Amino acid sequence: MSAAQTTCHTPDARAGRNRIRTAVQSLMLCLATLLPALVSAGGPVFSHMTLNGITGVTLSIEDVVPELAPYGVTAATIHAKAAQKLQSAGLPVIDKDAAVQDPAAALLRVRIITNRNAQGFYHFSVKLELRKKIPLGNAAGGFISQAIWSSADNGVMLASETEKIDALLDQQLSVFLSDYSAQNHAAQP
C-alpha cells in the first residue's frame, strides 16, 4: 500500500472530509432557503398593493424538528410568539375554519428549517410566506391560494441558543408587518 493510499484514511483526512461535507450541506440549506426568497423579493414581477385589504391571517407553523422541543422550540411556542406579535400590531390571527370563510383572510406560513451538523451546530432558517385567496367563482365558494409575499433569513446556533430562532422570527415578522402596515394603514384616508 502506498503512502498516498494510507493517508486518505487517517483521522485528519476524515475530519477534513466531514468539514467539507458540512460546508456543502450548509451551502445547500442556505441556497434552498434563500433562493425562493431572492427570486420573489418584492413580490411577483407585476404586482401592486398585494397585502392591501387582508383582514386577518391564519398561521401554519411548519418544519419544526422535535429534537429542539426540550429547548422550548415547538410548533405551539412558535405559533404563540408569532400570534402575539401580529395581534399586538393590530392584525388578527384567526383559526383555519374562520379563514376559509373570510374572503379577505390569508394564510401566513412560518417555516423553521434546521440542519444539524456533526459538530452539533444547527444551521437554521426562518421563512415567512403569505398566501392570499384567489376565488374560483364557483357556487361552493372554492378558492386557490397564491404566495404573494415572502421573506427569509438564516443563522447558526447550538441547541441551547434557541433565542436566535426567536430573534430571527421577530425580525421576519417585523418585515412583514412593516410591508402590511404600509399597504393598509397608509391606504386609508
Q: Give 14-56 pLDDT, tens digit per residue.
A: 666 777 777 666 666 655 555 554 444 445 556 677 888 899 9
Domain layout of the chain by residue ranges: 3-184
Contacts of residue 130, defined as CB under 8 A and 6 or more positions apart, other chains included, come to 51, 54, 57, 106, 107, 108, 109, 147, 148, 149, 150, 176
Q: How confident is the model at residue 128 (pLDDT cuts 50, 70, 90)?
A: very high
- The model's pLDDT over 70-104, given as tens digits with 9 standing for 90+, comes to 999 999 999 999 999 999 999 999 999 999 999 99
- Quote the cell numbers at residue 79: 405559533
Note every long-range contact of 68-75, with CB atoms under 8 Å and residues 24 or more positions apart, other chains counting.
Answer: 68/114, 68/122, 68/159, 68/162, 71/159, 71/160, 71/162, 72/162, 73/112, 73/162, 73/165
- Looking at the DSSP bridge assignments, the partners of residue 122 are 116, 157
Average pLDDT over residues 2-19: 60
Q: How confident is the model at residue 7 (pLDDT cuts 50, 70, 90)?
A: very low
Coil vs helix vs strand at 39: helix
* Residue listed under C-alpha cell 422550548: 72
Average pLDDT over residues 132-139: 89
- The model's pLDDT over 144-189, given as tens digits with 9 standing for 90+, comes to 999 999 999 999 999 899 999 999 999 999 999 999 999 987 544 4
- Quote the cell numbers at residue 151: 421573506
pTM confidence score: 0.73
Supply the pLDDT for residue 28: 62
Q: Does residue 12 surpass a pLDDT of 50? A: yes
Biggest alpha carbon distance in the chain? 82
Tell me how far apart the terminal alpha carbons of the chain are, to the nearest angstrom: 82
